[in-house]
Amino acid sequence: MTEAGGYKYVKKSFDLKPGRTTMKAACPKGTHVLGGGHYNNGGYGDAIGLHSYPYDGKDGDKKPDDGWVAQLRGFGDTHRAAVHAICARTSPIYARVKVEVQPGGSAERPTVTCPLPSLNVTQGGSRGPASVREVSGRPLDSIWEEGLVNHGSAVAEVTVLGVCSTLDTKIAATDATATSDAQTFVATSCPAEAPHLVGGGVGVNQGGFAHGNMAIAAMRPFNVGGLLSSWQVWMDNYNAAAEPGILITAIASCAPPL
């Protein structure tokens, strides 16, 4: 675990074998989760993220504030992987909404809204069946927009979650052009006035089937200059060259010290 500015960054490493795996990174006692991510050392087509979200542990409060969980699917060889949780002694509100995602492979973008417009979303995620996977997700002030695609044959119910906080968050974003049939890496860093990473996301500028043919291979907080102030994204683009001009955006939620 790494500590900086009153925030605690937890990392849980494991071996990602072929097939579906669900792993958790728990927050330290007395802290609550603000965001999280997942990573693997594979390449294009080796592993994808299905869902990641804040979870409720075995305490009695019934809030998904105890850590971050990632549901991943590996292909081929075993890869080293990790789940990350960003935690602090704050008291976020966890908004959630159930949505139906239609089959067919076209991406949808449902949203969840904080109960008060004065709150800012640090991060969000989704919990649902393996037939559905996340293909994007970004904070929009007090709203979390989740990109989902259903590659199954039936309508799927998915819970979209958003972590709502009173933190004075700043958003940093960096774009990269996605290469067809390849993996694209993009990273962004927090500004000096808000140097601590408290969450992250990824944007895709396309909609429909082009968006649905993407996969989040990994997304994680990263240490730069002694601070976990960078957000890294690896995105698989399964679109052929006939779908040019796809931009991947790494999005960081950043905050000042507590």
Q: What is the pLDDT of residues 43-84, one digit of tens each?
A: 999 999 999 999 999 887 889 999 999 999 999 999 999 999
Rg of the chain on CA atoms, in Å: 17
**What is the number of other CB atoms lying within 10 angstroms of the CB of residue 223?**
13
Mean pLDDT of the chain: 96
Lowest mean pLDDT among 25-29, 68-72, 242-246, 249-253: 242-246
- Provide the residue range defining the domain that includes 178: 2-255
pLDDT at 242 (0 to 100): 65
| Assessment of whether the complete model's pTM goes beyond 0.75 | yes
pLDDT at 127 (0 to 100): 97
- Quick one: which of 180, 186, 138, 181 has its CA closest to 162? 138
pLDDT at 46 (0 to 100): 97
Strand stretches in 17-155, DSSP E = 19-26, 32-40, 47-55, 67-74, 79-88, 93-101, 111-113, 120-127, 132-140, 143-150
Number of domains in the chain: 1
The C-alpha atoms of residue 253 and residue 228 are separated, in whole angstroms, by: 12
Q: Average pLDDT of 178-200? A: 96
Residue 135 belongs to a domain with what CATH number? 2.60.120.690
The C-alpha atoms of residue 96 and residue 22 are separated, in whole angstroms, by: 20
